[in-house]
Copies of this chain bind each other. A is one copy, B any other.
Amino acid sequence: MKKAGVDYYMIPTADFHNSEYAADYFKEREYFCNFNGSNGTLVVSADAAGLWTDGRYWIQAADQLKGTGVRLYRMMEPGVPTIREFLLKNMTPGSRLGFDGRCITRREGAELAQLLAEKNIRTASGRDLGDPVWRDRPALPCHDLFVITDKTAGESFEEKLAKVRGTMKQRGAGYFVCSKLDDLMWLTNLRGNDVECNPVALCYGFFSQKEQHLFLQDAEVTAAVRKYCAAKKIELHPYDSFEAFLAAYSYKGAVLYDPDSVSYSLYLAMQKGMRRAAKTLGKDRIRFIEAGSPVEIMKAVKNPVEQKNVRSIYLEDSAVVCRFLYWLCNEADIAQMTEYDAAEKLDGMRAEVKDFIELSFPTIAAYGPNAAMMHYEPTKEKSSALDRSAMLLVDSGGTYMRGTTDITRTTALGPVTDEMKKAYTLTAAGNLALLNVSWMDGCTGRNLDILAREPLWNIGSDYKCGTGHGIGYILNVHEGPQNIRWRFSKGADEVPVVPGMILSDEPGVYKDGKFGIRIETILMAQEKCRTADGQFFCFETLTYVPLDRDLLDPRYLSSREIEWVNEYHRQTLEKITPLVDRKVGAWLKKQCAPIR
């Protein structure tokens, strides 16, 4: 820091693409302060260091920071300064803040730089000062890419790119710069393996009406991928040459990019090249168009082939979970097992499915009070023993060559209290209310959320998370732009839920130190009918795994809700029986028998 002329240095969490999960290579903050939660920023000066993280991680962070001398700043707690406030207060005019501009988005970076500039504090974003210190730093992930056939993708790269170029034209953009990994994978029909549980490769993309450039680590490009790219006229460049490319390019028009995913460093590089071009062509022509990626909404609305494949893989994935639940309830030696063992068993069963690629996220198997922690994940080293006294929550999914799945079921392994039954039954009621909703074209997730939440709100219970998220196709288990949440945030954008969009439906009850319940079923929006009053949509159900009969108490259900349970079970029995053996089939029949 001294040599670099930097007075404060900031280490954020993100990778170069603002991905949800970062590879080990990017865990610099953890290397320096031990804290390994998914959100945290370390700020270091000559004589002090502080870590900022949110409420989910306060206990964990306090524990992991012990002995490091790093002070914990609890984000959002009254009286605790934000990082910006802290820097403004502690940094003196003329001093300099350093950070790696590749790990911070254009929006964050520019806002921070502007704020500090007002106090005459400079920023230096060109260097990763932690790198020379971190001697045993893991390598940048580098795994083989592979090609999704057009038949599997349902649409060729050329067809998808033509649509993107249409949007570019509409918006008056000559160029589209993309650094979002799942957008690039979906667009190119390539997949990779550089981020845990996300089948994506580290890459960048640059597109004009005529050119198409991809920036990939050479070692990832197999012969087949190279051949594919040549056939598709995709020009390949080294992954680490993108900044230089952007700075050197001869721009002839406006550049469309998403300031919430493109990094500050990439922005500075573009700016360099564009300033040069603007000198001759003018600022009106050479300008930034800041907007969400045009790929995002195309990716969210599944095409007919994607829909067909997703439908089929969800049935097989449901059958796996049915087999697992049968095993858990009938064959497993519960007394000798941990949560981790249960997760391993399920993971093994999933791996046997044809077309399996990888888990879509590390399986959550949470027993008893552990299930009250929404982000709990058992590991080989740290995992609770099961017994026959509580509920087991299992949240899991796989990525297959036919789609990406996600499902949660909560199962009673032993006697249950009336409180648990009531909580489970009302969670199921909310889950089924959303599953059965009809809505008018134009509705967004904020309109729909209350259907899943109302039975729980009615007893003063709430889950502190959204009701639903989008899911990718042979891609990330979390994707936007659609979601199902309720809170209002002024100026925020909302996207209508339209046919082809996949959404999770996962209400729950989380009782600190006692138990946790979540029921997650995956839904796909479809057309319902067009009448004189307009266009109406509904959900098609993708997940078919029975609810837990020991936990469902019809006393808490209306006649309509009971019909919903029975209809869901009727269809589950019909669709899953052909996919399981007789033993499991017999169990399924019992689980799916009508309730009254």
Contacts and interface: CB of A to CB of B under 8 A. Distances in A.
B493 A490 contact: yes
Interface size class of A (residues with CB under 8 A): 35 or more
B444 A488 contact: yes
A69 B537 CA distance: 44
B454 A437 contact: yes
B460 A533 contact: yes
A396 B242 CA distance: 68
Contacts of A158: none
Contacts of A496: 488
Interface stretch (A145-153, A265-273, A284-292, A524-532): A524-532
B451 A454 contact: yes
A446 B488 contact: yes
A462 B560 contact: no
Interface in A495-517: 496, 512
This chain: how many copies in the complex?
2
Contact of A450 (B443, B462, B531, B560): B443
Contacts of A443: 450, 486
A438 interface: yes
A474 interface: no
A440 interface: yes
Contacts of A493: 490
Contacts of A559: 558-560
A494 B451 CA distance: 19
A417 interface: no
Interface in A413-459: 437-440, 442-444, 446-451, 453-454, 457-458
A496 B457 CA distance: 16
A255 B532 CA distance: 49
Nearest to A538: B458
Given A442-B488, A449-B447, A486-B447, A531 B460 contact: yes
B558 A532 contact: no
Contacts of A512: 532
A486 to B, nearest CB: 5
Contacts of A67: none
A461 B558 contact: no
A499 B178 CA distance: 47
A578 interface: no
A496 B488 CA distance: 9
Nearest to A493: B490
A533 B457 CA distance: 9
Contacts of A449: 447
B457 A439 contact: yes
A442 B485 CA distance: 12
A132 interface: no
Given A454-B438, A488-B494, A494-B488, A460 B536 contact: yes
A194 B533 CA distance: 38
A539 to B, nearest CB: 12
A94 interface: no
Given A454-B437, A560-B560, A531 B448 contact: no
A526 B122 CA distance: 51
Contacts of A437: 450, 454
Contacts of A486: 440, 442-443, 447
Nearest to A443: B486
A582 interface: no
A534 interface: yes
Interface string A82-103: 0000000000000000000000
A462 B533 CA distance: 6
A256 to B, nearest CB: 19
Contacts of A536: 457, 460
A516 B387 CA distance: 60
Contacts of A457: 438-440, 536
A453 to B, nearest CB: 8
Nearest to A529: B460
Nearest to A487: B442
A78 interface: no
A568 to B, nearest CB: 16
13 contacts: A438-B457, A439-B457, A444-B488, A446-B446, A447-B449, A447-B450, A447-B486, A450-B450, A451-B454, A460-B531, A460-B533, A461-B533, A558-B561
Given A439-B457, A447-B450, A461-B533, 4 more contacts: A438-B457, A438-B460, A447-B486, A558-B558
Across the A-B interface, give the 4 residue pairs with the lowest CB-CB distance, nearest first: A558-B560, A460-B531, A559-B559, A462-B533
